Chains A and B, each alone.
Chain A
Amino acid sequence: MAKFPSDEWVKEFCKTLNQNKAYEEAAKTWEGDFLFIITPDEDLDKEYVFYVDLWHGKCREARLLSNREEKRTEYIYEGKYSNWKKLIKGEIDPIKGLLTRKFKLKGNMSKVMRATKAAKELVKTASLVPTDFI
């Protein structure tokens, strides 16, 4: 079981994505890398930043960065820890989460709005990773 957030977790997530056919189909034209930022709240002491490179239905690279300045990406997806927890548990609809500003997304919006199915599969995959929340 991987602890969330950790380098081990995001690597496990990447591996699970690469085994997920539904994600592969939904994201087959997707090109674009992300910073997933987990901002601190009552249960998390500091900010965690994941780098995840998504390309044509596959995850090419994923790792924990030391901070958000370490890498420039096409997209930044950011939210507080308690919302990430709900997202991974499937308690927040990923698109609704964006529309209600529980999560912030920076990057080319028109491209992302055409890839909502891929986004949903991405989140579903996260819930498949055996996760231990701190």
Chain B
Amino acid sequence: MWYFSSPKLIVFGEDALEYLESVKASKVFIVTDKNIASFGLLEKVLKHLEVSGVEVKVFDEVEPEPPKETIFKGAELASQFKPDLIIGLGGGSCIDSAKAIRVLYERPDVQIEEISPLTNLGLGKKTKLICIPTTSGTGAEATWAVVITDKRKKVKLELASREVISDVAILDPELVKKLPKKLTVEPALDALAQAIEAYISQWKNDFSDALAVKAVQLIFKYLPRAYKKGSSDIEAREKMHIAATLSGLAFSNSQVTILHALAHSAGAIFRIPHGRAVALFTPYSLRFNFSKSWKLYAELAETIGLKAVSKKELAVKFLNEIEKLLKELKVATAVKDLRIEREEYLSKINELVERTMESTGLIANPREVTEDDVKKLFIYAYEGKNVDF
């Protein structure tokens, strides 16, 4: 027995934001950040909400990799304003913030750490949730995960509850048309990783497989185009936007793997943006899982049109293709290239390992993971050394 969860409705394609004009609500609380406002994206949303005649309050103080404090502040403002609709507008950070703020607004008696699949939240009594991504990457608009940073403990809280999933996700390509290069690439590589992880996780299933395969296909086809042509290739933008949501649906109905565990651990300790951290740990994690997952890599390779004489070769080709893509997109694939000093890194290695071992990313990793493995992976990733164990 297993479940499949998704938003009740996904509105996508050109003019998708028009959905907001007929939204049934009276008070709307928008969770976003200052960039989204200054790039005119908030404006686009407000314009449509105006048509529906709702009262709006904007909370635009979300920081990237949002800390707990932001959530508390947002929840406080929400409880004063009393919205019946919360909108998360932005990248994964704003969307996760909106999800968490919604929980604390509806359930002020719940501690943020208590958001778990085993806690009954009873959401939906005070407000609905609409998520509108402005990056094409995390898929957070369609997942039941919420990632919040505990700055004091330097850890990413991997919270999850099927109840926090958005009621509606709106994927309007207009919001991602002008993404700068880095913000085109890093979140997209998060989406690629999540899709592959969903496909190799022990919790994979036919639903998540279908979504993962399509996401991988779209990303291989359209990411290089979106990267090279930017706003002039709206088709590539739109397809990447959809691929990200597919990836979110895929992993949230399966599970991520050691890749996300490593990225969350390093990301929280060294403050690396999520997409960048995920891209970096991708080659190491996929190679680490090779002994258990190579047949599945070969299947994915076939779906993107790679050919080889044997399945094993095909699997190797798939990994090479990913590494080629990472090069083409000019992302860092060794920690030393992130301007993190070796000594500082090594001094934190135990902390890095500990955080990884506690991560929910290990629950369904295809290969058993020991502390030694994790330590080695962190050391190899620093130097950029090929995984050989």
Contact = CB atoms under 8 A, between A and B. Distances in A.
Contacts of A26: 357
A98 B117 contact: yes
B69 interface: no
B2 A96 contact: yes
Contacts of A25: 370-371
A105 B363 contact: no
Contact of B360 (A93, A100, A105, A113): A113
Given A25-B371, A109-B116, A109-B119, A96 B203 contact: yes
A99 to B, nearest CB: 5
Contacts of B3: 99-100
Interface string B357-376: 11010111000011100000
Nearest to B368: A22
A119 B156 CA distance: 21
B202 interface: yes
Query: Of residues A98, A105, A117, which shows the largest number of chain B Cβ atoms within 10 Å of its Cβ?
Result: A117
Nearest to A92: B1
A117 B357 contact: yes
Contacts of A68: none
A20 B355 CA distance: 23
A98 B118 contact: yes
Contacts of B203: 93, 96
A114 interface: yes
Query: Of residues B114, B363, B371, which shows the largest number of chain A Cβ atoms within 10 Å of its Cβ?
Result: B363
Contacts, number: 45
Interface residues of A, number: 19
Interface in A86-103: 93, 95-96, 98-100, 102
Contacts of B111: 110
B174 interface: no
A115 B371 CA distance: 14
Given A93-B202, A100-B2, A110 B116 contact: yes
Nearest to B117: A99
B55 interface: no
A96 B188 CA distance: 29
A96 B157 CA distance: 20
Contacts of B61: none
Nearest to A97: B1
Interface in A57-96: 93, 95-96
A56 interface: no
B118 A109 contact: yes
Contacts of B113: 109-110
A19 interface: no
B158 interface: yes
Interface string B203-218: 1000000000000000
Interface of B: 1-3, 111, 113-114, 116-119, 157-158, 202-203, 357-358, 360, 362-364, 369-371
Given A95-B363, A96-B203, A120-B363, 7 more contacts: A93-B202, A99-B118, A100-B2, A109-B118, A109-B119, A110-B114, A116-B363
19 contacts: A25-B370, A96-B203, A99-B118, A100-B1, A100-B2, A105-B118, A109-B113, A109-B114, A109-B116, A109-B119, A110-B113, A110-B116, A110-B157, A112-B118, A113-B158, A113-B360, A114-B358, A115-B358, A117-B369
